[in-house]
Amino acid sequence: AGAADIHPLALVKDLPLSRRQMVEIAKALARKPRILILDEATSALTAADVAKIFGVLKRLRSEGLALLYISHRMNEIAELADQCTVYRNGRNVASYAAGSKSDNEVVELMIGREYSHIFPPKPVRAPAITAPVLEARKLSWTDRLDNISLTVGAG
């Protein structure tokens, strides 16, 4: 499952975190489970490693593997899931068919309030009309600038 580049005699403790993660996933898959639970399994993996793992997981799902995939990465959930469940503080908040909710709706379920309340749009302030504090008209400087005008307001 993408761990083929790891020497079989290498000590896992000496491997980088991403390779250790791949070894753990490969160990779990080697047992040929009927149910596989992965919790934030791709957190330390490269995009290439994720693609390899997902290829294997999709094939195993088509062969009957039940996959419980826990992640905060919406794109990964969308790629793997048929059904989604959101838990918040240990409680089941919602279950829904994959793809039936937007990312914002899922985030709102996860955090328990409207997404817009956390990151409200910044108010647009109308420009204040004030008297200019600096005004220059028809400035020229050697052959580089010609007929430049500038007005600067307060603030």
Question: Could you tell me the residue ranges of all domains in the chain?
Answer: 1-81, 82-119
Q: Indicate the pLDDT class of residue 125, thresholds 50, 70 and 90.
A: confident
Cβ neighbours for 58, distance < 8 A, ≥ 6 positions apart: 80
The Cα-based distances of 121 to 12, 60, 116, 127, 128 in angstroms read 48, 44, 8, 18, 20
Question: In the predicted model, is pLDDT for residue 16 greater than 70?
Answer: yes
In this structure, of 1-10, 17-26, 39-48, 86-95, the range with the lowest mean pLDDT score is 1-10
When pLDDT is averaged across residues 135-155 and rounded to a whole number, the result is 86
Which pLDDT score, from 0 to 100, does residue 132 have? 86
pLDDT in tens, 34-51: 999 999 999 888 898 899
Which pLDDT score, from 0 to 100, does residue 114 have? 81
DSSP class per residue in 85-114: EEEETTEEEEEEETTSS-HHHHHHHHHTS-
Return the biggest CA–CA distance within the chain. 81
Which pLDDT score, from 0 to 100, does residue 2 have? 56
Question: In the predicted model, is pLDDT for residue 116 greater than 60?
Answer: yes
DSSP state letter for 1: -
Could you tell me the two tokens for 75?
Answer: 């794109």
Model confidence, pTM? 0.65
pLDDT in tens, 144-153: 888 899 888 8
3-state class (DSSP) for residue 67: strand
Fold adopted by 1-81: Rossmann fold (3.40.50)
pLDDT in tens, 75-92: 999 999 999 999 999 999
Which pLDDT score, from 0 to 100, does residue 3 have? 63
